[in-house]
């Protein structure tokens, strides 16, 4: 029951109603029309609503988001999803993605796929994304840890925007634009060892995100343009959220952008749920890109069960794991923004 000590205008004795509006544009228009009394503002509308808050028309509060935007690469064969381990705990041959590479049953990463993933990191201009997607409230991410968390390596740097470095890595990975059409082709890429007929195939993949989120759709268009400048053709599609999640967990995608939430207080061991070998189970686990690194598994296991739980020693272990993830880029941890709540 509402307190009787507050002015009547602030009391809603009958309670409150939670309304789920799938389309962010519709949600904002309903708020402005008085059909909603409180909402988290879609990123694309933050400048507009912030100005209304400054003018005294609404109450508003900024806070750092607990979730980040990320892009996951599929590093196994999307046409034949397989778990990482069999019933006896032995590694299964999961094939490899033609562009983003994969891992042998011995855990060796294909070098060309790694270079492509790193190149896409270097080809991402976060300043442009911050202006076009985060309403200039964004913080670029370097790995699977917020910079303000106790286990985050203090000396870790984000990938800088460097188109020359990106182009050099793609050259080294065997993707060249020999016909001059602006899109690179496989000349000596890793996948030729699996399928020689792949020679001449374009450096082209499908990138999906959830439809109805205007800032995510803007993000996809911007990345499509940025990576096009380095010779990568991105077929960007915003699709139904439920279909997106099915593709993600089912491991049938090329690349997917969505949000990942960090809990409070921060649990550094949550990394195991996303990049641990045991979490690579189609339609069940969250290691949907089939990432594998035995050292990362070892570091996470040791940090989780460290006798005495010394925080500094655990931070060092997690820090090494985060650095490996940064270097091997199974995801692009794009960034965290500020959220504006209005009422």
Dihedral of CA 17/18/23/27: which sign?
positive
CB within 8 A of 258, min separation 6: which ones?
A: 69, 70, 72, 209, 210, 216, 244, 245, 248
197-204 average pLDDT score? 98
String of DSSP letters for 31-77: HHTTS-S-EEPPGGGHHHHHHHHHTTSS-EEEEE-SEEEEEEEP-S-
pLDDT at residue 276 is higher than 50: yes
pTM: 0.85
Query: Residue 7's pLDDT is what?
Result: 54
pLDDT of residue 11: 54
Residue 67 binned pLDDT confidence (cut-offs 50, 70, 90): confident
pLDDT the model gives residue 239 = 97
pLDDT, residue 1, reads 47
Helices (H), the chain: 24-32, 46-54, 111-122, 126-132, 163-172, 214-228, 241-250, 272-275, 294-304, 311-328
Which H or E run contains 341? Answer: strand 338-342
Report the chain's mean pLDDT, rounded to a whole number.
91
Report pLDDT digits (tens) over 94-129. 999 999 999 877 778 899 999 999 999 999 999 999
Give 278-304 pLDDT, tens digit per residue.
Answer: 999 999 999 999 999 999 999 999 999
Q: Quick one: pLDDT at residue 12?
A: 55
Write out pLDDT tens, residues 172-195: 999 999 999 999 999 999 999 999
Q: How confident is the model at residue 10 (pLDDT cuts 50, 70, 90)?
A: low
């Amino acid at each position: 029951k509402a307190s009787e000590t507050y002015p009547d205008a602030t009391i809603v004795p009958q309670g409150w109603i939670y309304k789920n509006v799938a389309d962010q544009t519709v949600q904002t228009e309903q708020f402005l029309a008085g059909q909603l009394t409180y909402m988290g503002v879609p990123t694309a509308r933050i400048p507009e609503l912030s100005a209304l808050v400054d003018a005294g028309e609404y109450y508003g509060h900024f806070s750092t988001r607990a979730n980040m935007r990320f892009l996951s690469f599929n590093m196994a064969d999307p046409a034949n999803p397989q778990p990482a381990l069999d019933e006896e705990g032995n590694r299964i041959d999961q094939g490899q993605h033609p562009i983003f590479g994969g891992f042998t049953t011995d855990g060796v990463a294909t070098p060309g796929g790694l270079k492509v993933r790193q190149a896409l990191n270097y080809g991402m201009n976060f300043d442009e994304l911050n202006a076009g997607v985060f309403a200039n409230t964004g913080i670029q991410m370097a790995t699977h840890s917020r910079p303000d968390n106790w286990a985050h390596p203090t000396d870790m740097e984000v990938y800088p925007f460097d188109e020359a470095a990106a182009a050099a890595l793609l050259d080294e990975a065997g993707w060249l634009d020999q016909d001059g059409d602006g899109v690179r082709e496989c000349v000596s890429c890793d996948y030729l060892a699996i399928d020689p007929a792949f020679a001449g195939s374009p450096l082209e993949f499908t990138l999906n995100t959830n439809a109805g989120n205007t800032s995510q759709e803007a993000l996809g268009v911007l990345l499509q343009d940025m990576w096009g400048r380095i010779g990568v053709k991105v077929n960007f599609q915003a699709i139904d959220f439920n279909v997106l999640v099915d593709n993600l967990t089912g491991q049938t995608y090329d690349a997917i952008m969505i949000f990942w939430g960090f809990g409070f207080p921060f649990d550094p061991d949550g990394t195991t749920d996303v990049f641990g070998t045991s979490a690579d189970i189609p339609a069940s686990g969250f290691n949907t890109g089939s990432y594998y690194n035995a050292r990362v598994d070892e570091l996470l296991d040791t940090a989780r069960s460290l006798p005495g739980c010394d925080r500094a020693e655990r931070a060092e272990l997690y820090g090494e794991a985060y650095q490996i993830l940064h270097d091997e880029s199974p995801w692009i941890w794009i960034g965290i923004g500020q959220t504006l709540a209005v009422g």
